[in-house]
C-alpha cells in the first residue's frame, strides 16, 4: 500500500470509541460467571468510575469543541458532533447492559449469599429501625432545598448523589420540586433487622418530615456529572501551586455533562432536571439500579457474610536475594541490575529503597518524582524524614496529575514544611516519568543508585496494577538520571542521553527509528509492544509499513488502540490483544528484534501524542541478558500466549475472546505469574519460563489461536 494511503481515515479507530470498547471488556469480566462474585462487583464499580472520568474529561472536551465551533478532527476524521452522537449511543447501550447485569445477575446472587436488599414496604421492626436511624443520624445533617422563584435551582456538586422530590399541586403552582443532597460522609448502606437499605431510600421514605404540609408526589435519586478538566495558563502563573489550587476549587462549577436518574423517561422530573442543567435527552441516563456504584459496592464488599466470595488472597513475594529490601537491596544493586514484576513481586523493596536511604548516614541526597501517591504514603514520610535528617532531598511533584491535583497540592505543602526542595517540573508539560535516585558516599567516592519504573510510587495501586521496576547503579543510567533531574529542576538540557529515550526530547523519533530498523529487516523483523494505549497517527502508520514489509507485530494493548489490525494489504501481520483480569495491566514494554540484538525497553508512557509532546516520559533499555530473557520469555511470551483473559481486536474495532486450541489447556497469564512467584518465592534458582517462549523465532508468524466471540 502506498504511504499516502496509510493515513486514510478508514484505517483508524476513533479514540473515544476505543475507550468505550475497553469499558465493554470490563463489563464482560463483570458478566463472567467463572469470576468470583465480589470480583465481578469490583469490575462493575471500576466501570462506573471509568465512565465518570470519561464523561468528566472526554465527553466534556467534545462538548467544549462543539460549543466553540471547533471542526478539527483526529486521524479517523470524525467531527466532534459525530463523536458525541456515536459516544451517546454506545454509552446508553453499555449502561443498559450494566444495569441488567447488576439487577438480573449480581443482586440475586448476593441475595442467595445472604445479603438481602430491602425495597417496598418494610416490616414493622425494620420500619421502626429506619425511622430511628433517620432521626438520629440523617436528619441533623440534611439540607432540604425547595425550588421556587425565591429559591433557584442549586449548584449540585460533581458526582454528588441527590434526591429529587416532586410535590403534588395544581398546574402552575410555584412550588413543584425540591432537592435533598445525600450526605457523602454517612454509610451508603443502612442495616435494618430484615436487610440493608440504601441511604437515599431512607431519605425518600422520610422526606415528608423535611417538607411538612407539602403533599409528595414522588422521589427519585439522581446524580450530576460535570466538566472536571482544568484550564491553566502556566506561562502566566506566578506560583503554579497557588494557581492550580485556585482552579481546583473553581472546577466544581463546571457545566453539567450527564444526568443519571432513577426515573423513567416519561417522568416530568427527568425533563425538569435536564432543562435546569441545560442537558439534552442524549445526556440523560434513566437507570433502574443504585447510582454511584463504587460507593454502593464499598458497603456491600465489607459485609462479613460474603467475605468468602472474594478471590483467593495473593501475597506478593520478596526475592530472597533482596533480604530486607533496604541495605541488602543496595548491596545487590551494587553488583547487578535488579528487576521486580509487581504485584507478583512485592513493592516493599521500592519503599525500603527510600526508607533505608532516609536513615542511612552515608546517603547524601535523594531525588525523585511523584505523580500519584496515596494518603499516608510511606515514601512521602521517608522523604520528610530524610530532609529532617539533614539530607539534600528534591521531590518533583506533578500538580497536574488528573484527579489527583488536590492530593498532590497537600503533598507538596507537607514536603516543603519538612525542608524538602519541591519543584513542579517544566512549564507546559506533565512530568509523568517515574524515577528515584540516591547519592551515597562509599569510601572516598560517591555512588549513585537509581530506581526506574513503569508505575507510580503508590503502595495501594502497586497491589492491584501490573508494573515493572528496575534498580541499577550503572554509570550510564545514573548519569542520565542526573541529567533528567537537572532538566526538570533547572532547565539544563543535556547534549545527549546515554541510555534514556526522553519525551518531548526525541522519544517519538527514536520509536519511529526502531520501527524503521525492523522494516529494513523485512521478514526477519519482529516487534512486540505492551502498553496501555496506542493512538499516535505517525506510529500507527509506521506499524502499517512494518506489516507491509513482512514484520510480525504483536501488540498487547490494555485500553485504547486506534490501529486496525489484520486488514489485508494494510495490517495483516499485526495482531492486537487486550488482557483484562484481576490486576490492571499497566507496564509498558517494547521489544524490537534488531537483527538479533533484541532491543528491549521499559517505559513510563504510551504511544500517544500527549506522551510524546505534552509529557516528560522516559523509556530505558534492559541490557542484562538474564533480565532481558526473563521479560521476553516469562512476561511477554506468557501474555502473547494468553487464551483465558485475552481478547483479540478485529478490523472493525470490536474485540472477541480467544480460546485455546482444541484439547489444549487455557493459558491465563496473570495466574501463571502468581504461580511462578509462589514457586520462586525465596529462590531465584527455581525460576523457569511458564510457557514455551513464543518470541524466540524472530520473523516467524506465531500460530494464531482459535477464537470465539465474547
Q: Which residues are catalytic?
A: 432
Per-residue cell: 252: 466544581
Cβ-in-10-Å burial (0-12, 13-18, 19+) of 235 comes to exposed
321: DSSP letter: G
Rounded to whole angstroms, how far apart are CA atoms 368 and 397? 9
State the Cα–Cα distance between residues 243 and 250, nearest whole angstrom.
11
Residues 386, 649: Cα–Cα separation, whole Å: 48
Q: How far is CA 467 from the centre of its chain?
A: 13
* Contacts for 451 with CB less than 8 Å, ≥ 6 apart: 350, 353, 435, 436, 437, 469, 470, 471
> Helices then strands (H, E): number in the chain?
22, 26
Under 8 Å between Cβ of 559 and 578 = yes
> Are the beta carbons of 578 and 646 closer than 8 angstroms?
yes
Cell numbers of 666, please? 487455557
How would DSSP label each residue in 216-249? EEEEEEEEEEE-------TTT-SSHHHHHHHHHH
Nearest to 38 by CA among 319, 386, 304: 304
Measured CA to CA, the distance from residue 621 to residue 500 in angstroms comes to 7
Joined together, the cell numbers standing for residue 49 give: 468510575
Question: What is d(CA 535, CA 626) in angstroms, rounded to the nearest whole number?
Answer: 32
Kindly report the number of other CB atoms within 10 A of residue 327's CB atom. 13
Residue 443 has a CB neighbour count (10 Å cut-off) of: 7
3-state secondary structure of 453: strand
Q: How far, in Å, CA of 429 to CA of 612, rounded?
A: 10
- CA 106/CA 33 separation, integer angstroms: 10
Cβ atoms of 564 and 651 within 8 Å: the answer is: yes
Instruction: Supply angle C-alpha 687, 691, 696, rounded to 5.
Output: 95
The cell for 51 is 465512565
705 neighbors 643 (Cβ within 8 angstroms)? yes
Whole-angstrom CA distances from 492 to 425, 437, 488 are 12, 18, 8
Eight-class DSSP state of 522: G
The helix or strand, by DSSP H or E, that contains position 469, with its residue range, turns out to be: strand 465-472
What distance in Å separates the CA atoms of residue 350 and residue 329, rounded to the nearest whole number? 9
Pairing of strands 363-370, 392-397: parallel
Backbone angles phi, psi at 436, to 5 degrees: -140, 145
Kindly state the cell numbers that stand for 510.
527514536
Taking the C-alpha atoms of residue 603 and residue 683, their distance in angstroms, rounded to an integer, is 28
Amino acid at each position: 500500500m502506498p504511504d499516502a494511503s496509510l493515513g486514510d481515515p478508514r484505517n483508524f479507530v476513533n479514540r473515544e470509541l476505543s475507550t468505550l470498547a475497553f469499558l465493554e471488556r470490563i463489563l464482560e469480566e463483570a458478566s463472567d460467571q467463572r469470576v468470583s462474585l465480589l470480583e465481578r462487583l469490583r469490575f462493575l464499580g471500576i466501570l462506573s468510575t471509568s465512565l465518570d472520568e470519561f464523561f468528566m474529561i472526554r465527553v466534556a472536551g467534545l462538548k467544549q469543541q462543539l460549543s466553540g465551533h471547533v471542526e478539527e478532527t483526529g486521524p479517523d476524521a470524525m467531527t466532534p458532533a459525530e463523536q458525541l452522537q456515536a459516544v451517546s449511543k454506545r454509552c446508553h447501550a453499555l449502561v443498559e447492559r450494566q444495569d441488567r447485569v447488576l439487577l438480573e445477575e449480581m443482586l440475586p446472587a448476593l441475595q442467595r449469599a445472604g445479603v438481602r436488599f430491602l425495597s417496598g414496604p418494610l416490616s414493622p421492626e425494620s420500619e421502626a429501625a429506619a425511622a430511628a436511624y433517620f432521626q438520629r443520624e440523617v436528619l441533623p445533617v440534611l439540607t432540604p432545598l425547595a425550588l421556587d422563584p425565591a429559591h433557584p435551582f442549586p449548584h449540585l456538586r460533581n458526582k454528588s448523589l441527590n434526591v429529587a422530590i416532586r410535590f403534588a399541586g395544581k398546574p402552575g403552582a410555584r412550588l413543584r420540586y425540591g432537592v435533598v443532597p445525600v450526605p457523602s460522609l454517612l454509610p451508603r448502606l443502612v442495616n435494618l433487622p430484615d436487610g440493608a437499605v440504601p441511604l437515599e431510600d431512607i431519605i425518600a421514605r422520610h422526606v415528608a418530615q423535611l417538607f411538612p404540609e407539602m403533599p409528595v408526589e414522588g422521589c427519585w435519586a439522581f446524580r450530576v456529572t460535570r466538566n472536571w478538566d482544568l484550564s491553566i495558563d502556566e506561562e502566566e502563573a506566578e506560583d503554579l501551586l497557588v494557581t492550580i489550587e485556585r482552579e481546583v476549587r473553581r472546577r466544581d462549577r463546571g457545566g453539567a455533562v450527564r444526568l443519571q436518574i432513577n426515573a423513567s423517561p416519561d417522568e416530568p422530573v427527568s425533563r425538569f432536571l435536564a432543562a435546569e442543567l441545560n442537558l439534552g435527552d442524549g445526556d440523560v441516563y434513566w437507570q433502574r439500579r443504585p447510582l454511584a456504584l463504587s460507593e454502593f459496592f464499598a458497603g456491600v464488599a465489607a459485609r462479613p457474610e460474603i467475605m468468602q466470595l472474594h478471590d483467593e488472597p495473593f501475597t506478593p513475594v520478596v526475592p530472597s536475594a533482596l533480604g530486607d529490601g533496604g541495605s541488602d537491596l543496595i548491596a545487590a544493586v551494587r553488583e547487578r541490575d535488579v528487576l521486580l514484576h509487581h504485584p507478583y513481586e512485592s513493592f516493599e523493596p521500592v519503599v525500603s529503597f527510600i526508607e533505608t536511604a532516609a536513615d542511612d548516614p552515608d546517603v547524601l541526597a535523594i531525588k525523585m518524582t511523584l505523580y500519584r501517591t496515596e494518603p499516608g504514603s510511606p515514601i512521602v514520610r521517608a522523604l520528610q524524614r530524610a530532609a529532617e535528617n539533614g539530607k539534600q532531598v528534591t521531590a518533583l511533584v506533578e500538580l497536574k496529575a488528573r484527579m489527583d491535583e488536590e492530593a498532590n497540592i497537600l503533598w507538596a505543602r507537607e514536603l516543603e514544611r519538612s525542608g524538602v526542595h519541591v519543584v513542579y517540573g517544566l512549564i507546559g508539560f506533565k512530568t509523568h516519568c517515574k524515577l528515584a535516585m540516591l547519592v551515597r558516599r562509599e569510601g572516598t567516592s560517591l555512588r549513585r543508585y537509581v530506581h526506574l519504573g513503569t508505575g507510580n510510587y503508590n503502595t495501594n495501586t502497586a497491589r492491584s496494577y501490573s508494573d515493572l521496576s528496575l534498580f541499577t547503579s550503572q554509570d550510564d543510567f545514573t548519569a542520565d538520571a542526573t541529567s533528567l533531574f537537572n532538566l526538570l529542576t533547572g532547565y539544563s538540557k543535556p547534549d545527549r542521553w546515554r541510555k534514556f529515550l526522553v519525551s518531548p526530547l526525541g522519544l517519538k523519533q527514536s520509536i519511529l527509528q526502531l520501527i524503521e530498523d525492523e522494516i529494513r529487516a523485512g521478514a526477519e523483523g519482529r516487534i512486540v509492544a505492551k502498553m496501555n494505549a496506542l493512538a499516535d497517527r505517525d506510529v500507527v502508520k509506521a506499524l502499517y509499513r512494518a506489516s507491509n514489509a513482512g514484520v510480525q507485530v504483536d501488540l498487547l494493548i490494555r485500553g485504547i488502540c486506534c490501529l486496525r489490525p489484520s486488514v489485508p494489504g494494510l495490517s495483516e501481520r499485526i495482531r492486537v490483544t487486550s488482557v483484562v483480569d484481576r490486576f490492571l495491566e499497566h507496564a509498558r514494554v517494547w521489544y524490537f528484534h534488531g537483527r538479533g540484538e533484541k532491543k528491549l525497553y521499559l517505559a513510563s508512557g504510551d504511544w500517544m501524542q500527549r506522551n510524546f509532546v505534552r509529557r516528560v516520559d522516559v523509556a530505558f533499555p534492559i541490557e542484562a541478558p538474564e533480565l532481558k530473557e526473563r521479560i521476553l520469555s516469562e512476561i511477554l511470551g506468557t501474555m502473547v500466549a494468553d487464551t483465558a483473559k485475552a481478547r483479540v481486536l478485529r478490523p472493525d474495532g470490536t474485540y472477541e475472546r480467544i480460546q485455546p486450541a482444541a484439547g489444549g489447556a487455557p493459558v491465563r497469564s496473570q495466574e501463571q505469574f502468581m504461580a511462578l512467584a509462589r514457586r520462586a518465592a525465596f529462590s531465584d534458582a527455581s525460576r523457569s519460563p511458564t510457557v514455551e517462549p513464543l518470541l524466540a523465532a524472530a520473523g516467524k508468524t506465531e500460530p494464531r489461536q482459535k477464537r470465539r466471540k465474547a
